[in-house]
Amino acid sequence: MDDPTAIRLTGHTAACPATREAYDALRGYLDDARRALRGDPDADEIVRDLEAAVGDRLDPGGDPVTGARMTAILAELGPVRPAHPAPAEVGGAVRGRFWCRISEGGWFGGVCLGLAAYGGFRVDWVRTVVLLLTLVTGGLLAVAYLVGLLVLPVVPTVADYERRRDAPRPG
């Protein structure tokens, strides 16, 4: 038998010993739950509740949880399904990336943060490049930046941007 690993679950201070097989089963269950709940605004809270429910069924001071025991616990909880399944879309196309400004964490209107989210870049690199190009072009890029401030839609957070990006395309 391989060495037990410690599993720390939401709502429980003590770690529970578990085999690698049990850990992998739990990780797979929680990953599947996150995928099933993608787009649900309460997804993080639901996954935390699932972790707490698993932790309630484990004995932190006892023997390591085996893969079979973890599988039985997860079967008892059942599969995770979204409360409001997304309506079937024609082709199931997602919206995809889109240009926007992101207000939370933005310095001057969030244009650079929106560019970073769009391209998957680090925001500090985008800000550095924009600053250097503004200096090199003699301020011409600042005009484009101001146009972006006026034209681009505002999204409150990066998480909201990702949720909208991954959501089905509006009909």
- Residues 14-24: what's their mean pLDDT? 85
> What's the CA gap between 94 and 58, in Å, rounded?
39
Q: For residues 41 and 131, what is the distance between their CA atoms, to the nearest angstrom?
A: 35
131 φ, ψ (degrees, to nearest 5) = -65, -45
Is 19 among the domain residues?
Answer: yes
Number of domains in the chain: 2
Predicted pLDDT at 61:
75
Q: Does any domain span residue 14?
A: yes
Is the pLDDT score of 89 beyond 70? Answer: no
85 falls within a domain: no
Query: Rounded mean pLDDT of 86-102?
Result: 67
Q: Which residue has the higher pLDDT, 64 or 90?
A: 64
Q: Is residue 83 part of a domain?
A: no
Query: Residue 135: pLDDT above 90?
Result: yes
Question: Could you give the CA distance from residue 50 to residue 80 in angstroms, rounded to a whole number?
Answer: 9
Same domain, 108 and 71: no
Domain containing 37 equals 5-77
Do residues 56 and 107 share a domain? no
pLDDT tens-digit readout, 24-53: 888 888 888 888 887 777 778 888 888 888
Is residue 86 domain-resident?
A: no
State yes or no: pLDDT of 171 exceeds 70. Answer: no
CB atoms within 10 A of CB 25: 21
Check pLDDT > 60 for residue 114: yes
Residues 118 and 70 in one domain: no
Asked if residue 96 belongs to a domain, the reply is no
The torsion region of residue 167 among left (phi > 0), alpha (psi -120 to 50) and beta comes to beta
Q: What is the pLDDT of residue 84?
A: 61
Sign of dihedral through CA atoms 104, 106, 111, 112?
negative
pTM greater than 0.85 = no
Q: Could you tell me if residue 171 is inside a domain?
A: no
Distinct helix (H) and strand (E) counts, the chain: 7, 4
CA 130 – CA 136 distance, rounded (Å): 10
In a domain, 116, yes or no: yes
